[in-house]
Amino acid sequence: MIPNLDHLRRAYATTSKATQLTPLLRSPALAKLTGAAGVFVKAESLQWAGSFKVRGAYWRLTLLSPEEAKRGVVAFSSGNFAQGLAAAGEALGIPVTIVMPIDAPAAKREATAGYGARVVLTDHGERPREEVARAKADEIAVTEGLTFLHPFDDPEVVAGQAGAGLEAIDQLSTLGATADLMLCPTGGGGLLGGVALAFHYLSPGTRLFAVEPAGYDGMGASLRGGRIETVPVVPSSICDGLMSRHPGEATFEPARAAGVTGVNVTDASVRRAMKVGFERLKLVLEPSGAAGLAALLDGKVDVAGKTVVVVATGGNVALADFIRYTADA
């Protein structure tokens, strides 16, 4: 369940040919604002398809048998894995079906279809939307003979996402720096699992933090309890990509092995982080993508005198929504 360093490097050797080397931005302004010795932002919002998700999706698709690739795959996602998988499928010539909750952002639905994927919407009513979308994806997999791909609970997806961490560590090394702390937005934990393993293997002195929306801190609760926990259904968050109620086994085990600690942030702090990210870094971040920055700005972790890496995970947000979220931040 826990990919080793060689596994991570094999995945990156493949995905790096199809993904972008995203910048690691040094921000003296954020360092001054927070009291950190240095702040670096890994801008995965500038990745192909607008988020880190294409890394794990592309790697996972390359592992399909020829027969599986010909039939195609099905997955459920509220947006960023949908776009990443659709883009990877288009690049590799593999048919992709995505089941999305009906309340997923319209911009993400449209972008997913724009990459050639078939989009199936589910109306979850009062039920957890992930549960309903997963059930529909399972049904389609059986009835149409498609390969079901989980958006995060898959060791190979975790291995593929680790490329963001491997890159960041290499970029820091080029600058003669090492990270004391790493803050990573977390939903189901696919990115966290991969990035945490990369730092665990190559930068073991770095303290690792999973940043989740308040009320959706399934990873944090699981890490505190030592086993996978499911949090109760709570009101919606603007961080639509981080609304998982529990991590997967394939993501929890790497996070636990790497010694990750959970923290959470409010919608208000995420709104502020989106505004600061735009004003100080010139990055357009979706709410989920700004969660790590929100934790930094909120002082959720003591960064005084420390060198910090924040992963900015995605920038898939409609202009009207970005303006609305940041107007009163």
pLDDT tens digits, residue range 14-30?
Answer: 999 999 999 999 999 99
pLDDT tens readout for residues 169-189: 999 999 999 999 999 999 999
pLDDT average, residue stretch 263-281:
98
State the SS3 of the chain.
Answer: CCCCHHHHHHHHHHHCCCCCCCCEEECHHHHHHHCECEEEEEEHHHCHHHECHHHHHHHHHHCCCHHHHHHCEEEECCCHHHHHHHHHHHHHCCCEEEEEECCCCHHHHHHHHHCCCEEEEECCCCCCHHHHHHHHHHHHHHHHCCEECCCCCCHHHHHHHCHHHHHHHHHHHHCCCCCCEEEEECCCCHHHHHHHHHHHHHCCCCEEEEEEECCCCHHHHHHHHCCCCCCCCCCCCCCHHHCCCCCCHHHHHHHHHCCCEEEEECHHHHHHHHHHHHHHHCCCCCCHHHHHHHHHHHCCCCCECCEEEEEECECCCCHHHHHHHHCCC
Report yes or no: 178 and 203 within 8 Å, Cβ to Cβ.
yes
Neighbours of 63 (CB within 10 A): 14
* Average pLDDT for the chain: 95
Confidence (pLDDT) at 281: 97
Say which amino acid occupies 20: Q
Side-chain-side CA neighbours of residue 302 (13 Å): 0
Residue 129 has pLDDT above 80, yes or no: no
> Nearest 5 degrees, angle CA 221-CA 196-CA 37?
100
Q: Which fold has domain 5-52+156-326?
A: Rossmann fold (3.40.50)
Q: Report the percentage of the chain scoring pLDDT > 70.
A: 100
Structure confidence at residue 231 (pLDDT): 92
Two domains, one topology: 5-52+156-326 and 53-154: yes
Please report which confidence band the pLDDT of residue 304 belongs to, taking 50, 70 and 90 as the band edges: very high
**Residue in the block written with tokens 């990877």:** 88
Q: Please, are residues 161 and 154 in contact by the beta-carbon 8 Å criterion?
A: no
Percent of the chain with pLDDT over 90: 89
Tell me how far apart the alpha carbons of residues 134 and 140 are, in angstroms, rounded to a whole number: 10
Q: What is the per-residue pLDDT across 201-252, written as a single tens digit (0 to 9) for each?
A: 999 999 999 999 999 999 999 999 999 999 987 778 999 889 888 999 999 9
Average pLDDT over residues 283-310: 98
**Per-residue confidence (pLDDT) for residue 282, from 0 to 100:** 98
Q: Is pLDDT above 90 for 135?
A: yes
- Tell me whether strands 73-76 and 147-148 are parallel, antiparallel or unpaired: parallel
pTM reported for the whole predicted model: 0.95
pLDDT given for residue 329 in this prediction:
82
Higher pLDDT, 236 or 144: 144
290 confidence band (pLDDT: 50, 70, 90):
very high
Class of the CATH-defined domain 53-154: alpha beta
- 67-108 tens-digit pLDDT: 999 999 999 997 789 999 999 999 999 999 999 989 888 888
Residue 105: per-residue pLDDT: 81
Q: Tell me, what's the pLDDT at 227?
A: 97
Q: Where exactly are the structural domains of the chain?
A: 5-52+156-326, 53-154
What order of strands is seen across the sheet that includes strand 24-26? 24-26, 38-43, 307-312, 181-185, 207-213, 261-265
> Quick one: how far is CA 269 from the chain centroid?
18
Q: Is the pLDDT of residue 56 over 90?
A: yes
Residues 6+ apart with CB under 8 A from 320: none
Do β-strands 96-101 and 181-185 pair in parallel, antiparallel, or remain unpaired?
Answer: unpaired
pLDDT of residue 263: 98
pLDDT over threshold 90, residue 125: no
